[in-house]
Amino acid sequence: MMSMNDTVATPVLQRPRADDRYPSRFGSEVLISRRLDPVVWGRSGQGPLSESQLMYYTDHGHLHFDDLLSADEVQACLDELARLRADTAVKAADEAVIEPGSRELRSIFAVHRSSEVLRRLARHPRLVAIARQLLGGDVYIHQSRVNYKGGFRGKEFYWHSDFETWHVEDGIPAMRMVSCSIALTANTPYNGPLMIIPGSHQRFVSCVGATPDNHYRESLRQQDIGVPDDVSLSQLVEDFGITAPIGLAGSVTFFECNVMHGSSSNITPLPRSNVFLVFNSVENTPVDPFCGLAPRPNFIAEREDFTPVGR
């Protein structure tokens, strides 16, 4: 129920641009349309993934790898997360996002730029080789972040398609991106693991509601615009179910940019701290945001340096 003081954003664009292949947030009608882009852009033999792994990813929109990072690599990242968390200047920076309803650190963005350890992680040869094969060539980092999801008070990330936001608010034209979620603590069934609707990446769910100015200031704490309506979400779950790729520290889940996903709050004492690296193809760099607003800051969406990583 909206109250009088709720700000209602009026659409900056009254209708989608001619180059907008995935219009969203333009009206009050929800639309579920078919994906227009390939899921896998490379081929077997062009990287470490087998034909059956590529087929699984095409159908399900995610791939999970246990023990992809060594214990030493995990420990170096955990030490870095603790250092960042203890640095008051980091917590006061624009790149830091505080949990709604507490002073807990929720996320830090652009960690591949602020941390030498995480810059190296973003260039990890095994991670980059998988991203290059899935995206069919050179890749750069569109976004990186640490989601701390601390014990007791780590809040949820409501269901969403990342691509819907990265298309509408960052101007990414096509579904040629992949997120890599790196578990630095055990992701168990109980401490708010990533939940995925496997197969949902094959459909584009347009959302209702116009994008507010500087939406990221709210959406990174709690996203209310650019999320699917209950009916669409129920339909996706009825058709595809829900899966939660759990794993120990050092495990990695690659998930397609348009797969519907979310995660619940963490009320256990066990932190669920993951690093997320978002790889984009250098053939898919951002254009003007499709919502018609000014682009989001560079620490959320890279718009300046598309130098390929890890060639």
Q: Which residues bind ligand 6CS (CB under 6 A)?
A: 143, 145, 157, 160, 162, 165, 219-220, 223, 300
Output 80 or 162, the one with its CB closest to Fe ion.
Answer: 162
- Residue that has been written with the tokens 């949990």 in this structure: 99
255 makes contact, choosing from Fe ion, ligand 6CS, none, with CB < 5 to 8 Å by partner type, with none
Taking CA atoms, 309 is separated from 26, 127, 235, in Å, by 35, 10, 38
What element of type H or E holds 31?
strand 31-34
* In the complex, least distance from residue 219 CB atom to Fe ion, rounded to whole angstroms: 10
Minimum CB distance to ligand 6CS smaller for 63 or for 227: 227
Closest separation in Å from C-beta 50 to ligand 6CS: 28
291 within 8 A of 23, measured Cβ to Cβ = no
DSSP 124: -
Q: How far is residue 172 from each of residues 2, 219, 289, 290, measured CA to CA in Å?
A: 31, 18, 8, 9
Closest CB to ligand 6CS among residues 145, 149? 145
Q: Which does 181 bind (CB under 5 to 8 A by kind): Fe ion, ligand 6CS, none?
A: none
Residue located via tokens 């292949």: 21
Q: Which one of ligand 6CS, Fe ion, none interacts with residue 20, CB within 5 to 8 A by kind?
A: none
Is 73 or 162 the residue whose CB approaches Fe ion more closely?
A: 162
CB nearest Fe ion: which residue?
A: 162
Residue with smaller CB distance to ligand 6CS, 44 or 222: 222
Could you say which of Fe ion, ligand 6CS, none residue 219 binds, taking C-beta under 5 to 8 angstroms by partner kind? ligand 6CS
CA distance 221 to 107: 9
- Distance CA(140)–CA(129), nearest Å, equals 12
Whose tokens are 């995610």? That residue is: 62
